[in-house]
Amino acid sequence: MLINKIEDYKIEGKVMVSEGIKIPCTEVRLINSALIYPNNYNPNSIPHTKMKQLVDSIKKNGFCFPIVTYFNGEKFIIIDGYHRYLMHKKEYLNMSHIPCVVLNIKETERYIATVAFNKAKGFHDCELDAKLVTTLKGKGMKYDQIAKALHIELETAYRYCQLSGIAAEELAGECYSRSWEF
């Protein structure tokens, strides 16, 4: 399970299969971060604030999602989870080993897998986000606590709580302007 050098890695694994579906996350390996390399094709980027949120979440909830890699005979290359991989760095969590699953798939399939991992996800419904924030507010959390916990700006937290009737409330003028002709 602990992999410090490539000889420690044996392709023969015992990935659990359930109802015909492979479950690679049942065979997680802790791989030395020196053996893991980013791929050179992933177009996904992540802002600094989201990295902080990731650090926070891993500190609180643990490393719940292993990164996905493939083994090319020399090193482990990331298919998905570059930003979780970065957690090994000093400025984040300073981890010597990163939990990984290793897939044995062909090159084109890797590209496709990367895109699928990045993109096959939902949109956050604006109103549901707002409801969630309002619920937290209702349970006694203060605006600044909510903003800090959810890693959103204080302004965003305020706005979410103001969802109903805001346009008319905020944008109406004090009095009507003077009429004009042309």
Partner 1 sequence: MSKKIYSNTKNVLQAAQERVSLGFDLFDNISVSVSGGKDSTVLAHLVVQEAERRGRRVNMFFTDSELNYSATINQVDYLMNLSLLINKVWVQIPSVTQTVGKLRNCRFLAWDEKHRGEWVQEKRVDAITENIWETGAPPYGEFYIREAYEKSCGSNSGFFIGIRADESLERLKTVTRHPALIDGNKIKWATSKPSNSALLYPIYDFSHSDIWKYIKENNLKYNKIYDYQRLHSYPTKKMRVSNIGHQFSEMEMQNLPYFEPETYAKILERVEGTEIMQEHGNKSSLFLCKKLPEHFNSWKEYLQHLIKTSINPDIKVLVERFGRMDKTTDNYRQACRQVMMNDVLNEKPIKTKEANSKDNLLNKLKGL
Site for partner 1, rule CB under 8 A: 123-127, 130, 159-160, 163-182
Work out the burial of residue 100: count CB atoms within 10 Å of its CB; fewer than 13 is exposed, 13-18 middle, 19 or more buried.
Answer: buried
Q: Whole-number minimum distance, CB 25 to partner 1, in Å?
A: 28
Q: Whole-number minimum distance, CB 153 to partner 1, in Å?
A: 10
Q: Do residues 78 and 47 touch, judged by C-beta distance below 8 A?
A: no
Map residue 32 onto helix, strand or coil: strand
Q: Whole-number minimum distance, CB 147 to partner 1, in Å?
A: 15
| CB atoms near residue 64 (< 10 Å) | 10
Residue 109 or 125: the one with the smaller Cβ distance to partner 1 is 125
Residue 138 or 165: the one with the smaller Cβ distance to partner 1 is 165
Which amino acid is present at 32? Answer: N
Map residue 16 onto helix, strand or coil: strand
Residue 41 or 180: the one with the smaller Cβ distance to partner 1 is 180
Distance CA(52)–CA(90), nearest Å, equals 13
Residue 109 or 155: the one with the smaller Cβ distance to partner 1 is 155
Q: Do residues 58 and 99 touch, judged by C-beta distance below 8 A?
A: no
Q: Whole-number minimum distance, CB 134 to partner 1, in Å?
A: 12
